[in-house]
Amino acid sequence: MVRVLPALFLALRDVASPRGLAILLQSLALTLLILAAAGTAIFLLARHLLQSEGWLSAAQADMAGVLVIVLVIAGSWLLFRAVAIMVIGLFADAIVADIEGRHYPVAASRAVDVGWRRTMTLALASLARLILGNILALPLYILLLVTGIGTPLLALAVNAMLLGRDLDAMIGARHPGQAPLERGTRWSLGLLSAASFLVPVVNLLAPIVSTAMAVHLFHMRDLPMHDRDFS
Protein backbone atom coordinates (compact mmCIF):
# COMPACT_ATOMS: atom_id res chain seq x y z
CA MET A 1 0.00 0.00 0.00
CA VAL A 2 3.02 2.29 0.53
CA ARG A 3 3.63 2.56 -3.21
CA VAL A 4 -0.04 2.76 -4.12
CA LEU A 5 -0.78 6.00 -2.25
CA PRO A 6 1.84 8.09 -4.13
CA ALA A 7 0.57 6.52 -7.36
CA LEU A 8 -2.96 7.57 -6.39
CA PHE A 9 -1.91 11.21 -5.92
CA LEU A 10 -0.18 11.21 -9.31
CA ALA A 11 -3.21 9.58 -10.93
CA LEU A 12 -5.58 12.23 -9.57
CA ARG A 13 -3.34 14.94 -11.00
CA ASP A 14 -3.31 13.18 -14.38
CA VAL A 15 -7.10 12.93 -14.48
CA ALA A 16 -7.31 16.69 -13.90
CA SER A 17 -5.21 17.35 -17.01
CA PRO A 18 -7.06 18.44 -20.20
CA ARG A 19 -6.38 15.10 -21.89
CA GLY A 20 -7.41 13.17 -18.78
CA LEU A 21 -10.66 15.08 -18.44
CA ALA A 22 -11.47 14.54 -22.12
CA ILE A 23 -10.98 10.76 -21.81
CA LEU A 24 -12.95 10.71 -18.54
CA LEU A 25 -15.95 12.43 -20.13
CA GLN A 26 -15.85 10.24 -23.24
CA SER A 27 -15.58 6.98 -21.32
CA LEU A 28 -18.22 8.01 -18.78
CA ALA A 29 -20.65 9.04 -21.51
CA LEU A 30 -20.19 5.72 -23.31
CA THR A 31 -20.60 3.77 -20.05
CA LEU A 32 -23.85 5.53 -19.17
CA LEU A 33 -25.11 5.14 -22.74
CA ILE A 34 -24.53 1.39 -22.64
CA LEU A 35 -26.26 1.07 -19.26
CA ALA A 36 -29.21 3.18 -20.43
CA ALA A 37 -29.59 1.20 -23.65
CA ALA A 38 -29.40 -2.13 -21.82
CA GLY A 39 -31.87 -0.99 -19.17
CA THR A 40 -34.36 0.28 -21.77
CA ALA A 41 -34.12 -2.96 -23.73
CA ILE A 42 -34.71 -5.07 -20.61
CA PHE A 43 -37.69 -2.95 -19.57
CA LEU A 44 -39.35 -3.09 -23.00
CA LEU A 45 -38.75 -6.82 -23.34
CA ALA A 46 -40.08 -7.61 -19.86
CA ARG A 47 -43.18 -5.47 -20.39
CA HIS A 48 -43.85 -7.02 -23.80
CA LEU A 49 -43.60 -10.56 -22.41
CA LEU A 50 -45.88 -9.81 -19.48
CA GLN A 51 -48.55 -8.30 -21.73
CA SER A 52 -48.32 -10.75 -24.61
CA GLU A 53 -48.66 -13.81 -22.39
CA GLY A 54 -51.81 -12.39 -20.83
CA TRP A 55 -50.59 -12.94 -17.29
CA LEU A 56 -51.33 -9.38 -16.22
CA SER A 57 -53.84 -6.70 -17.03
CA ALA A 58 -52.69 -3.43 -18.57
CA ALA A 59 -52.64 -1.73 -15.15
CA GLN A 60 -50.77 -4.62 -13.57
CA ALA A 61 -48.29 -4.61 -16.46
CA ASP A 62 -47.66 -0.93 -15.84
CA MET A 63 -47.00 -1.61 -12.15
CA ALA A 64 -44.71 -4.49 -13.09
CA GLY A 65 -42.94 -2.14 -15.50
CA VAL A 66 -42.26 0.27 -12.65
CA LEU A 67 -40.81 -2.61 -10.60
CA VAL A 68 -38.63 -3.60 -13.55
CA ILE A 69 -37.34 -0.01 -13.79
CA VAL A 70 -36.39 -0.08 -10.09
CA LEU A 71 -34.61 -3.41 -10.56
CA VAL A 72 -32.82 -2.14 -13.67
CA ILE A 73 -31.59 0.95 -11.81
CA ALA A 74 -30.34 -1.22 -8.94
CA GLY A 75 -28.75 -3.62 -11.40
CA SER A 76 -27.09 -0.74 -13.24
CA TRP A 77 -25.35 0.33 -10.04
CA LEU A 78 -24.10 -3.22 -9.54
CA LEU A 79 -23.08 -3.62 -13.17
CA PHE A 80 -21.46 -0.21 -13.45
CA ARG A 81 -18.04 -1.56 -12.55
CA ALA A 82 -18.22 -4.29 -15.21
CA VAL A 83 -19.33 -1.95 -17.98
CA ALA A 84 -16.98 0.85 -16.88
CA ILE A 85 -13.91 -1.40 -16.86
CA MET A 86 -14.82 -2.77 -20.29
CA VAL A 87 -15.28 0.76 -21.65
CA ILE A 88 -12.11 2.12 -20.05
CA GLY A 89 -10.31 -0.82 -21.64
CA LEU A 90 -11.25 0.62 -25.02
CA PHE A 91 -9.61 3.93 -24.04
CA ALA A 92 -6.73 2.30 -22.17
CA ASP A 93 -4.08 2.73 -24.85
CA ALA A 94 -4.79 6.47 -25.11
CA ILE A 95 -4.71 6.90 -21.32
CA VAL A 96 -1.50 4.91 -20.89
CA ALA A 97 0.23 6.58 -23.83
CA ASP A 98 -0.64 10.05 -22.51
CA ILE A 99 0.67 9.36 -18.99
CA GLU A 100 3.77 7.56 -20.19
CA GLY A 101 4.57 10.36 -22.62
CA ARG A 102 4.48 12.98 -19.87
CA HIS A 103 5.99 11.04 -16.96
CA TYR A 104 7.98 8.14 -18.42
CA PRO A 105 9.26 9.17 -21.87
CA VAL A 106 11.89 6.40 -22.02
CA ALA A 107 9.27 3.72 -21.39
CA ALA A 108 6.92 5.43 -23.86
CA SER A 109 9.58 5.26 -26.58
CA ARG A 110 9.86 1.49 -26.08
CA ALA A 111 6.12 0.81 -25.94
CA VAL A 112 4.41 -1.18 -28.67
CA ASP A 113 1.15 -0.17 -30.33
CA VAL A 114 -1.56 -2.39 -28.86
CA GLY A 115 -4.08 -1.84 -31.66
CA TRP A 116 -7.84 -1.86 -31.44
CA ARG A 117 -8.21 -5.65 -31.86
CA ARG A 118 -5.91 -6.37 -28.92
CA THR A 119 -7.58 -3.58 -26.92
CA MET A 120 -11.01 -5.07 -27.58
CA THR A 121 -9.77 -8.55 -26.64
CA LEU A 122 -8.37 -7.29 -23.33
CA ALA A 123 -11.59 -5.41 -22.53
CA LEU A 124 -13.83 -8.41 -23.26
CA ALA A 125 -11.50 -10.77 -21.40
CA SER A 126 -11.69 -8.48 -18.36
CA LEU A 127 -15.49 -8.52 -18.51
CA ALA A 128 -15.56 -12.31 -18.88
CA ARG A 129 -13.22 -12.82 -15.89
CA LEU A 130 -15.35 -10.50 -13.78
CA ILE A 131 -18.56 -12.38 -14.56
CA LEU A 132 -17.03 -15.87 -14.24
CA GLY A 133 -15.11 -15.04 -11.07
CA ASN A 134 -18.20 -13.74 -9.31
CA ILE A 135 -20.35 -16.64 -10.55
CA LEU A 136 -17.83 -19.11 -9.12
CA ALA A 137 -17.84 -17.23 -5.83
CA LEU A 138 -21.66 -17.03 -5.72
CA PRO A 139 -22.16 -20.13 -3.49
CA LEU A 140 -19.77 -18.64 -0.93
CA TYR A 141 -21.52 -15.28 -1.19
CA ILE A 142 -24.81 -17.00 -0.32
CA LEU A 143 -23.30 -19.03 2.55
CA LEU A 144 -21.74 -15.93 4.08
CA LEU A 145 -24.99 -13.94 4.03
CA VAL A 146 -25.70 -15.14 7.57
CA THR A 147 -22.57 -13.36 8.81
CA GLY A 148 -23.83 -9.98 7.63
CA ILE A 149 -20.36 -8.75 6.68
CA GLY A 150 -18.79 -11.85 5.12
CA THR A 151 -20.40 -11.52 1.69
CA PRO A 152 -19.32 -7.91 0.96
CA LEU A 153 -15.82 -8.60 2.29
CA LEU A 154 -15.42 -11.67 0.09
CA ALA A 155 -16.84 -9.79 -2.91
CA LEU A 156 -14.34 -7.00 -2.29
CA ALA A 157 -11.48 -9.50 -2.11
CA VAL A 158 -12.55 -11.37 -5.25
CA ASN A 159 -13.00 -8.21 -7.27
CA ALA A 160 -9.76 -6.72 -5.95
CA MET A 161 -7.87 -9.75 -7.21
CA LEU A 162 -9.58 -9.63 -10.61
CA LEU A 163 -9.24 -5.87 -11.00
CA GLY A 164 -5.57 -5.82 -10.03
CA ARG A 165 -4.82 -8.50 -12.60
CA ASP A 166 -6.76 -6.73 -15.35
CA LEU A 167 -5.11 -3.36 -14.72
CA ASP A 168 -1.67 -4.94 -14.71
CA ALA A 169 -2.40 -6.76 -17.98
CA MET A 170 -3.71 -3.54 -19.51
CA ILE A 171 -0.37 -1.79 -18.99
CA GLY A 172 1.73 -4.86 -19.68
CA ALA A 173 0.21 -5.18 -23.15
CA ARG A 174 2.22 -2.11 -24.21
CA HIS A 175 5.39 -3.54 -22.65
CA PRO A 176 5.36 -7.28 -23.42
CA GLY A 177 8.93 -7.82 -22.24
CA GLN A 178 8.36 -6.33 -18.77
CA ALA A 179 7.65 -8.41 -15.69
CA PRO A 180 4.17 -7.98 -14.18
CA LEU A 181 3.62 -6.09 -10.96
CA GLU A 182 4.59 -7.83 -7.75
CA ARG A 183 1.72 -9.72 -6.18
CA GLY A 184 1.46 -7.42 -3.16
CA THR A 185 1.47 -4.29 -5.29
CA ARG A 186 -1.12 -5.75 -7.66
CA TRP A 187 -3.31 -6.72 -4.70
CA SER A 188 -3.08 -3.25 -3.13
CA LEU A 189 -3.91 -1.65 -6.49
CA GLY A 190 -6.91 -3.93 -6.96
CA LEU A 191 -8.16 -3.44 -3.40
CA LEU A 192 -8.06 0.35 -3.55
CA SER A 193 -9.62 0.34 -7.01
CA ALA A 194 -12.39 -2.12 -6.09
CA ALA A 195 -13.21 -0.15 -2.92
CA SER A 196 -13.49 3.08 -4.90
CA PHE A 197 -16.20 1.52 -7.08
CA LEU A 198 -18.39 1.14 -3.98
CA VAL A 199 -18.50 4.87 -3.19
CA PRO A 200 -21.14 6.93 -5.04
CA VAL A 201 -19.72 9.74 -7.22
CA VAL A 202 -16.19 8.45 -6.57
CA ASN A 203 -17.07 5.39 -8.64
CA LEU A 204 -17.47 7.66 -11.67
CA LEU A 205 -13.76 8.51 -11.49
CA ALA A 206 -12.65 5.03 -10.40
CA PRO A 207 -11.99 3.46 -13.84
CA ILE A 208 -9.66 6.14 -15.20
CA VAL A 209 -7.99 6.82 -11.83
CA SER A 210 -7.34 3.09 -11.38
CA THR A 211 -5.81 2.86 -14.84
CA ALA A 212 -3.59 5.88 -14.20
CA MET A 213 -2.49 4.37 -10.87
CA ALA A 214 -1.54 1.16 -12.63
CA VAL A 215 0.62 3.08 -15.12
CA HIS A 216 2.56 4.79 -12.34
CA LEU A 217 2.99 1.60 -10.32
CA PHE A 218 4.19 -0.26 -13.41
CA HIS A 219 6.92 2.28 -14.16
CA MET A 220 7.79 3.73 -10.74
CA ARG A 221 9.50 0.50 -9.71
CA ASP A 222 12.17 1.13 -12.37
CA LEU A 223 12.98 4.64 -11.13
CA PRO A 224 15.45 5.49 -8.35
CA MET A 225 13.65 6.80 -5.26
CA HIS A 226 14.99 10.34 -5.72
CA ASP A 227 13.56 10.46 -9.28
CA ARG A 228 10.02 9.60 -8.23
CA ASP A 229 7.77 12.63 -8.43
CA PHE A 230 5.21 12.33 -5.62
CA SER A 231 4.32 16.00 -5.48
What pLDDT score was predicted for residue 91?
Answer: 84
Alpha-carbon distance values, 62 to 51, 54, 97, 137 (Å)? 9, 13, 49, 35
* Among 102, 138, 136, residue whose Cα is nearest residue 16: 102
C-alpha 73: how far from chain center: 18
What pLDDT score was predicted for residue 161?
Answer: 92
What pLDDT score was predicted for residue 94?
Answer: 85
With beta carbons less than 8 A apart as the criterion, state whether 29 and 90 touch: no
Helix (H/G/I), strand (E/B), else coil: 47? helix
Tell me the pTM. 0.81
Name the stretches of the chain with pLDDT < 50.
225-228, 230-231
What pLDDT score was predicted for residue 226?
Answer: 40
Radius of gyration of the chain (CA): 20
- Cα(44)–Cα(65) distance, rounded to whole angstroms? 8
What pLDDT score was predicted for residue 229?
Answer: 52
- Cα(11)–Cα(215) distance, rounded to whole angstroms? 9
Domain definitions of the chain by residue range? 4-227
Tell me how many degrees the CA angle 216-221-225 measures, rounded to the nearest 5.
100
160 contact partners, CB below 8 Å, separation of at least 6: 187, 190, 191, 193, 194, 195
